[in-house]
Amino acid sequence: MMRQAGRYLPEYRAVRQKAGGFLDLCFSPELAAEVTLQPIRRFGFDAAILFSDILVIPHALGRKVSFVAGEGPKLDPIDDPETIANLPLEADQKILSPIYETVARAKSGLLPNVTLLGFCGAPWTVATYMIAGEGTPDQAPARVFAYGFPDAFAELIDRIADASISYLVQQLKAGADAVQIFDTWAGILPPEEFHRWSVLPTKKIVAGVRKDIPEAKIIGFPRGAGSILPVYTRETNVDAIGLDWMIDKKFARENVQSLKPVQGNLDPLALLAGGDALDRAVDDVMAAFSNGPFIFNLGHGILPETPIENVEQMIERVRGN
Ligand code: CP3
C-alpha cells in the first residue's frame, strides 16, 4: 500500500507515542525501522516502504519543520527570493544519516524476497510546502511565487533536486531496492508549468541518481497528471509509474502501461468504505491492469480511519483474483 504504516495501525500509534514528535520518530533508526516492518508482519505485503517523510529534506536544508497533531506539517513559510538565496547549498548529512541507518536496519529485518522502497518528495511538491509553510487545498502560494519570482523558484527547485539526488543515492547504497519520487501536487499545475516544475526536475533526479548507481530502480508518482502522464513517463526515464485513483484506467493501460510497469490505483476511499464497493473496485483495478506489468497498490495514501478488516479484505480479494 502507499503509506502503509501510519495512524490506522494501533502498533504504529503505540510507537509514535513512545517516540514523542513525528520527526523524532523519523530520526530514530530503531523505532523507524520497527514502524517500517509493522505492516509487513501484520499483512505479509510484497514490499515495505521506509518510514520517514518527504519534509526531512527542507529540515536538512535548515528550514524549521514540525508536525502538529491533526493539522499536518508546519514549516517557516518563504515569501521572498533572499530566503532562497540564503539556503545552504547542500543538505545537512548529519541530520539525514539516521535515515540511512533505518534503511539498513529495515532491510536486514525483511526476508530476501520482500522489496524495500526508499523515497523522496519531488522538488515541486516539497517546494509547495516550503513556500506555503503548510498544506493548502491548491498550494496557491507556491504557484503565485513561481509566477512572481521564476528565477528564485528555479533555484529552490534545483537545491531540492540536488539534495534529493544524494538522499536517494544513499538510501539505495544503504539497502533500498528501489526508490519512489512522490509528486503529490503535480496535478494542480497547467501543462507548461507541470513540464517545467515537475517533469524536468524529476528527470534531473533520475539522471543524477543513475550517474552514481546506473542500475537504480526508480518509480514516479505524479498525482493528478492525467492526460500528461505519458509525457512524464517518456521524459523522466523513471522505471515505473504510480497511478492515482482519478486516472482513466483504459487511458493508463493504453498510454502508460504500454511504456512502463504501473502500480496503483485503488481509491483509498473505496478501501475506507469496504463491503461490496471495495470488492468491485479491487476487481476493476485487477481487470484493467493485470494483463501487463503491474503492482497492485492504492492510488494515494491510506486514510487513518480505514478499518484494518478492510485492508485484510482487499488483500484476500487481490490474491484470489
Ligand atoms: O508508510 C508510510 O507511512 C511511509 C512513510 C511516509 C510518510 N509520509 C509518513 C507520514 C511517506 C512515504 C510519506 C510521504 C509524504 N509526506 C507525502 C507524499 C505522499 C502522499 O501521501 O501524498 C507528502 C505530501 C507528505 C507530507 C506530509 N507528511 C503530510 C501532508 C502529512 C500530514 C498527513 C495527514 O494526513 O495529516 C505528513 C505526516 C505523516 N507522514 C504521517 C505519516 C505516517 C502522519 C503523522 C502522524 O503520525 O501524526
| Cα 253 to Cα 30, 136, 249, 256, 289, distances in angstroms | 40, 31, 6, 6, 7
If you take atom 21 of ligand 1, which residue's CA is the nearest one? Answer: 301
pLDDT confidence of 137, banded at 50, 70, 90?
very high
Calpha distance 228→238 (Å, rounded): 15
Strand blocks (E) in 133-192? 178-183
pLDDT confidence of 2, banded at 50, 70, 90?
confident
Cβ-in-10-Å burial (0-12, 13-18, 19+) of 227 comes to exposed
Cell numbers for 316: 484476500
Task: State residue 12's pLDDT score.
Answer: 95
Among 31, 40, 53, the mutation site with the greatest number of ligand 1 atoms within 8 A of its Cβ is 53
If you take atom 2 of ligand 1, which residue's CA is the nearest one? Answer: 3
Percentage of the chain beyond pLDDT 90 is: 95
Calpha distance 220→236 (Å, rounded): 8
Residue 22 C-alpha to ligand 1 middle, in angstroms?
A: 10
Q: Please state the domain extents for the chain.
A: 10-242
Task: State residue 4's pLDDT score.
Answer: 86
Calpha distance 217→81 (Å, rounded): 35
Query: Using the 8-state DSSP alphabet, how is residue 300 labeled?
Result: S
Percentage of the chain beyond pLDDT 70 is: 100
Task: Find the largest Cα–Cα distance for the chain.
Answer: 57
In this model, does residue 71 exceed pLDDT 90? no
Neighbour count for residue 23 (Cβ, 10 Å):
19
Task: State residue 311's pLDDT score.
Answer: 97
If you take atom 34 of ligand 1, which residue's CA is the nearest one? Answer: 72
The per-residue pLDDT for range 214-253, each reduced to its tens digit, is: 999 999 999 999 999 999 999 999 999 999 999 999 999 9
Cβ-in-10-Å burial (0-12, 13-18, 19+) of 174 comes to buried
In this model, does residue 68 exceed pLDDT 90? no
Average pLDDT over residues 82-88: 96
Q: Average per-residue pLDDT in the chain? A: 96
Average pLDDT over residues 29-36: 97
Per CATH, which fold does 10-242 belong to? TIM Barrel (3.20.20)
What ligand 1 atom has the least distance to the C-alpha of 119?
Answer: 12
In DSSP terms, 183 is beta-bridged to 222
Ramachandran class of 314: left when φ > 0, alpha when ψ lies in -120 to 50, beta otherwise: alpha
Half-sphere exposure (CA, 13 Å, Cβ side) for 160?
Answer: 33
If you take atom 48 of ligand 1, which residue's CA is the nearest one? Answer: 69
Among 12, 54, 59, 198, the mutation site with the greatest number of ligand 1 atoms within 8 A of its Cβ is 54
Catalytic annotation, residues: 3, 7, 16, 53, 129
- Phi, psi at 3, each rounded to 5°: 55, 70
The per-residue pLDDT for range 182-197, each reduced to its tens digit, is: 999 999 999 999 999 9
